[in-house]
Amino acid sequence: MTSSTTRQRSPRRRDPRRIHGLRSMPYLFIAPAALYLFIFQGIPLIQEFRLAFSNAKLFRPNDFDFVGFDNFVSISQDDGFWQAVSVTVVYVICCVAGTVLIGLGVALLMNRKFKGRSVLRSLIIIPWAAPPVAIALIAVWMLDARYGIVNRALALGGLAPEGGNWLNSTTLALPAVLIVTIWQLFPFTSVVTLAALQSVPEELNEAAMLDGANARQRFAAVTWPTIRPTVALVSILMTIWSLRRFELIWLMTQGGPVGTTNTLVIDLYRESFIIRDLGQGAAIGIVGLLVSLTITVIYFILSNRAARSEVTR
Name 222's Cβ contacts closer than 8 Å, sequence gap at least 6.
Answer: 200, 201, 204, 205, 208
Distance CA 172, CA 257 (A): 10
Mean pLDDT of 198-212: 83
Please check the confidence at residue 16 and state whether its pLDDT lies above 70.
no
pLDDT band at residue 284 under the 50/70/90 scheme: very high
C-alpha of 64 from chain center: 34
CATH classification at residue 118: 1.10.3720.10
In whole numbers, what is the pLDDT of the chain averaged over residues?
Answer: 86
- Structural domain containing residue 97: 72-312
Residue 237: count of CB within 10 angstroms of its CB: 16
Distance CA 57, CA 83 (A): 24
pLDDT band at residue 36 under the 50/70/90 scheme: very high
Q: Which one is predicted more confidently, 61 or 101?
A: 101
155 in a domain, yes or no? yes
pLDDT band at residue 286 under the 50/70/90 scheme: very high
In the prediction, which pLDDT does 14 show? 56
Per the structure, how many domains does the chain have? 1
Alpha-carbon distances of 41 from 105, 224, 270, 277, rounded to whole Å: 36, 36, 22, 22
H-assigned helices in the chain: 3-6, 16-37, 43-52, 70-76, 79-110, 117-124, 126-129, 132-142, 149-156, 173-197, 202-210, 215-218, 224-244, 247-252, 264-269, 278-312
24 in a domain, yes or no? no
Name 299's Cβ contacts closer than 8 Å, sequence gap at least 6.
Answer: 232, 236
Q: Which one is predicted more confidently, 39 or 165?
A: 39
Q: What percent of the chain is modeled with pLDDT above 90?
A: 41
282 in a domain, yes or no? yes
Please check the confidence at residue 311 and state whether its pLDDT lies above 70.
no
Mean pLDDT of 223-251: 90
23 in a domain, yes or no? no
Name 279's Cβ contacts closer than 8 Å, sequence gap at least 6.
Answer: 51, 52, 53, 54, 55, 56, 57, 64, 67, 71
DSSP conformational letter for 164: G
Q: What percent of the chain is modeled with pLDDT above 70?
A: 92
Task: Assess contact for 92 and 239: CB atoms under 8 A.
Answer: yes
In the prediction, which pLDDT does 53 show? 92
Mean pLDDT of 164-175: 88
Q: Which one is predicted more confidently, 213 or 307?
A: 213
39 in a domain, yes or no? no
223 in a domain, yes or no? yes
C-alpha of 99 from chain center: 11
64 in a domain, yes or no? no
289: exposed, middle or buried (Cβ count in 10 Å: 0-12, 13-18, 19+): middle
148 in a domain, yes or no? yes
Mean pLDDT of 138-158: 86
pLDDT band at residue 194 under the 50/70/90 scheme: very high
In the prediction, which pLDDT does 210 show? 82
Mean pLDDT of 21-31: 79
Judged by average pLDDT, the poorest of 20-34, 42-56, 282-296 is 20-34
Which of 89-103, 146-160, 221-235, 288-302 is the most confident on average? 89-103
